[in-house]
Chains A and B, each alone.
Chain A
Amino acid sequence: MSKIPVVIDCDPGIDDSIAIIMLVGSDKVDIKAITTTHGNVGLEGTTKNALGLREYLGMDCLVAKGAAKPMIVPLKNASEIHGANGLAGFELPQPQGTFEKDAAWDVMYDLAKKENGEMVLVVLGPMTNVALTILKYPDFKNYVKRIYMMGGSRLYGNHSPTAEFNIWGDPHACQVVLKSGIPVTMADLYFTYSNSVTGAEMKEMYSHAKKLKPMMDAFIAHDMKFTEAVGADFDNHKITICDSSAAAALLLDGDCLVTEDYYVVCETQSGENEGQTVFDYKGHLKGEPNVQLCISIDKEKYQGLIRDALAHFE
């Protein structure tokens, strides 16, 4: 079976790193490029991390730099969650290579055009880069088979009462993507919650790391600090590795992934609800479904993907 050509658009990021590891460790996908965006930390940081990860994981793919800021809303970040460098303070090796001369949108477009409509995008941060590719190249939508994204929420938010962080980071970009006609598989906040692992499970999964052990140790230590801060017991505490759910959705699609179809729009005009992904549960808006919402995957298979991927790096 031929491998699925993939571009990973991301803002690494601890959970981005896990998602990338899962994709590199799978024989189902062929990663053509990592494109970077503002998000968890600034663009310079996420690009440095992407280059470092490519080196550390021995990847053979392009790295292209994308948007430094959202389309319209002010720039935000989540360095309080990911550490100042975005990777829990873990220092990746100094990369040999550098990023492409062309910007993320040009690289994404050129790659997608070459793949005869088979290209899949895995989007793990604010959706600015994908939106700008759609806007700059009106025919881009015809070349993308599907977007697997981490972002949005069917219910409550995590960075505002109703908005999830990635979408809140650039609501307008999300709306551009949802309106584009490209099929979207959405690993929303509640799907990622449903895949939460306990600290004990995390330790077990990450114990399979060989070469990547130092990074996994840093990630666990980082999560332990957070758990301690809320006075919880790490082994029994539930931890959500958000972006890993989008990678799992792609890798387990056609296997155990359960989805439901919805018409989804993103609120861009409300102060309070900016960035809310509005699910038209009852058909008020009369739109054709544009999103497959991820409902569930098999827990063992999900954790197995992470375990096997970590063991893959010798």
Chain B
Amino acid sequence: MEKIKIIMDVDVGIDDAIAMCLALGNEKFEVLGFTTTFGNRRCEVTTQNTLKILELVGRTDIPVAPGAVRPLVKEYNPPEFSIVHGYDGLGDMADPLPQPTITTCGKSAVQFMADTLRESDEPVTLVPVGPMTNVATLIMTHPELMPKIKEVVLMGGSTIKGNASPVAEANIIQDPEAAYILFKSGLKIKMAGLDATWDGYIAFDELEEFGKANWLSEKIYSMCGIYAEHYRERMKNPGLAMHDSLTLAWLVNPELVQAEDYYVTVDINGRYTYGMTVTDVDNVMKYKPNATVAMGVDRVPFINMIKEAIANLAAQKK
């Protein structure tokens, strides 16, 4: 079977941790490495969390390269506490994951991406699921490697409603200029934004069931306490949105996602709409589409794909 070679750019993060498990537990993927960014927490924390998850699932062979510690241009004032991911970014479990014994690979995220692309025989898919800072920096510093990028499948954006402002999604608003550079780059882009990811949830009762499936799902279940509370109490959602995982599920099975080609740009000047992925749904501006935008998802097969990957990983390491 031909595998999909990916580099995942993460800001771990609870849904990032689950997406990492999907990437590592689904046989369709060959994960070349994880690069990290600030986002859900500071980069120091998301990097440690990435290492912790790899150690948890026994995949310490995969390189991790630390990346952006702040957005390209905009101010960076991270909150002391994330109401979605907790202090430690992994739900502040009663029995937290141990400090990792493995370390990062000695290259910065952008160096790692550039070297990996250069050395790869075939084009590689980039899967950024945090702010687009690392990808934008790669685009600016390595124009010669753009042909080596097969496509960029990102979690971020929304055609109309936001979760971090009335109109902006969290990954994009944390570095609008970086996202602007990505959408202007000419790279092939798939955007898994809130239009679809809100609907890609694991229902609360399904979560209870899932928590008993295997040792890894048990661990993830205990990680999800604060994340579940966020969706139940504040978002009034029927379940926990698996935002970051949708990128990967879309790659494995394109049929799962209802998608449209649109012209997308990012507002980098607005007072109220800064960080919005402005999507020309009715092609008013008459520009050629530059992104394929996820507008819906078949929830049940999507959630099942995540569960199966986690079961696979759990079986590989007792």
Contacts and interface: CB of A to CB of B under 8 A. Distances in A.
Contacts of A269: 268-269, 274
A139 B70 CA distance: 13
B144 to A, nearest CB: 9
A72 interface: yes
Interface in B150-201: 177, 180-181
Contacts of A105: 141
Contact of A176 (B66, B73, B108): B73
Given A135-B72, A136-B108, A103 B141 contact: yes
Given A71-B72, A72-B268, A176-B73, A136 B177 contact: no
Contacts of B108: 136-139
Contact of B269 (A137, A138, A175, A271): A271
B137 A138 contact: no
B53 interface: no
A136 B268 contact: no
B217 to A, nearest CB: 35
A135 B140 contact: yes
A138 B73 contact: no
A138 B35 CA distance: 14
B68 interface: yes
B140 A71 contact: yes
A136 B67 CA distance: 8
B69 interface: yes
Given A138-B68, A138-B108, A176-B72, A132 B268 contact: no
Given A67-B140, A105-B141, A132-B137, A138 B69 contact: yes
Listed residue (A68, A136, A137, A172) with the most chain B CB atoms within 10 angstroms of its CB: A136
A179 B72 CA distance: 10
B110 interface: yes
A132 B72 contact: no
A172 B72 contact: yes
Instruction: List the 8 closest pairs (A to B, CB-CB), nearest first.
Output: A135-B137, A136-B110, A172-B73, A136-B141, A269-B269, A175-B73, A132-B141, A132-B140
9 contacts: A71-B72, A71-B181, A103-B141, A135-B68, A136-B108, A138-B66, A138-B108, A269-B268, A271-B269
Interface of B: 66-70, 72-73, 108, 110-111, 133, 137, 140-141, 143, 177, 180-181, 268-269, 274
B141 A270 contact: no
A166 interface: no
Interface of A: 67-68, 71-72, 103, 105, 132, 135-139, 172, 175-176, 179, 268-271
A170 to B, nearest CB: 11
B141 A72 contact: no
B180 A72 contact: yes
B177 A72 contact: yes
Listed residue (A68, A139, A269) with the most chain B CB atoms within 10 angstroms of its CB: A269
A130 B137 CA distance: 13
Contacts of A139: 108
Listed residue (B70, B72, B180, B181) with the most chain A CB atoms within 10 angstroms of its CB: B72
Contact of B73 (A132, A136, A268, A271): A268
Nearest to A274: B269
A269 B143 CA distance: 25
Contacts of B110: 135-136
Nearest to B274: A269
Listed residue (A71, A175, A176) with the most chain B CB atoms within 10 angstroms of its CB: A71
Listed residue (A138, A139, A176, A270) with the most chain B CB atoms within 10 angstroms of its CB: A138
Contacts of A68: 143
Nearest to B140: A132
Nearest to A269: B269
Contacts of B268: 72, 268-269
A135 B73 CA distance: 10
Given A179-B70, A269-B268, 10 more contacts: A67-B140, A72-B268, A103-B141, A132-B140, A135-B140, A138-B69, A139-B108, A172-B73, A176-B73, A269-B269
Nearest to B143: A68
Contact of B177 (A67, A71, A103): A71
B72 A136 contact: no
Nearest to B270: A269
Contacts of B72: 71, 135, 172, 176
B153 to A, nearest CB: 23
